[in-house]
Structure 1
Amino acid sequence: MVKSVKGMNALGGLVYSTEAGRTCPGCRQPVASCICKASALPEGDGIARVRRETKGRGGKTVTTVSGLLLSPEELKTLGKKLKTRCGCGGSVKEGVIEIQGDHAELITAWLTEQGFQSKRAGG
């Protein structure tokens, strides 16, 4: 069964099918076997913006790194290296690396040493 929405063509096409689950609006394939996401890079200017956030996290501090023009696999590898360097946990979500704790200065310095352009963002 295919779920449809009035004006679906204006919205970009099929979004969900009970047979295959979520579908990519670009190639109309199931998200797991999407062929267009492999060539797509995240948006940004290539400068790593490192910021410290607490909003919406129950008061917990998280350091985020965004703006890098890397593939999802490269972001995941870089996130693992950052977690090892900082000695803490974290994750990669939607092109943003999240590191638990306040490690903004350490991450900015390490990214610069590794050859990335980086700058502190926010307060």
Structure 2
Amino acid sequence: MAKKLTSLDDLGGFVFSTNKDFDLNQHNETEETLPPNEQLLEAHLDKKNRGGKVATVIKGFVGTADDLKNLSKDLKTLCGVGGSAKDGEIIIQGNFRDKIMDYLKNKGYKVKRVGG
């Protein structure tokens, strides 16, 4: 059975362009982590696709995957629960929005409450 392609990375870095002036190095930039005072994060509560259980979702983080993972670890430790971090979002199990917002504000982040 052939391997199913789920992303462009599965093609092994193959890039096709009809632009003869295309520069691969120009589009291969790594994202730098913005300082906390320049970041605007959104704190959401989410129940969709979670079997009716509530999760706190922090969106809008701009930075490297390692920094996102470290912030996620700090928040999970603060709340004493599990969660995950991917695609610029941190998902924390349970309703800890106020506690997380206070923590992030103390760290220098700008945090906006979104939703109910």
TM-score by length of 2: 0.71
Q: 1:37 to 1:96 in 2, by over 3 A?
A: farther
Q: CA deviation at 1:99?
A: 0.2
Q: CA deviation at 1:57?
A: 1.1
- The equivalent residue for 1:116 is 109
CA distance in 1, matches of 2:107, 2:11: 37
The equivalent of 1:38 in structure 2 is: 30
Question: Measured at CA, do residues 80 and 22 of structure 1 come closer, stay the same or move farther in structure 2, by a change above 3 Å?
Answer: farther
Q: Is the 8 A contact 2:79 2:96 kept in 1?
A: yes
Q: Secondary structure at the match of 1:115?
A: coil
Partners in 2 of 1:104 and 1:64 — Cα distance? Answer: 8
* Paired amino acid for 1:52: L
SS at match of 1:21: helix
Q: Please give the alpha-carbon distance, in whole angstroms, between the structure 2 residues aligned to 1:36 and 1:117.
A: 29
Q: In 2, Cα distance between the equivalents of 1:96 and 1:52?
A: 13
1:91 is matched by which residue type in structure 2? S
Contact kept? 2:42, 2:114, Cα under 8 Å: yes
The answer to whether 1:95 aligns with 2:92 is: no
Give distance in 2, aligned partners of 1:114 and 1:63: 18
CA deviation profile, 1:23-81 (whole Å, cap 9, x unmatched): 567xx4xxxxxx9363377xxx8311001100111101100001122211100000000
CA deviations on 1:74-94 (whole Å, 9 max, x unpaired) are 000000000000000000021
Looking at structure 1, the residues matched to 13 and 54 of structure 2 have their Cα atoms a distance apart, in angstroms, of 33
- Give me the whole-angstrom Cα distance separating, in 2, the residues matched to 1:63 and 1:37: 30
Q: What's the C-alpha RMSD, in Å, of the aligned pairs?
A: 2.8
Aligned 1:74-93 pairs, distance under 5 A = 74-93=67-86
2:52 is aligned to 59
Q: Percent identity?
A: 33
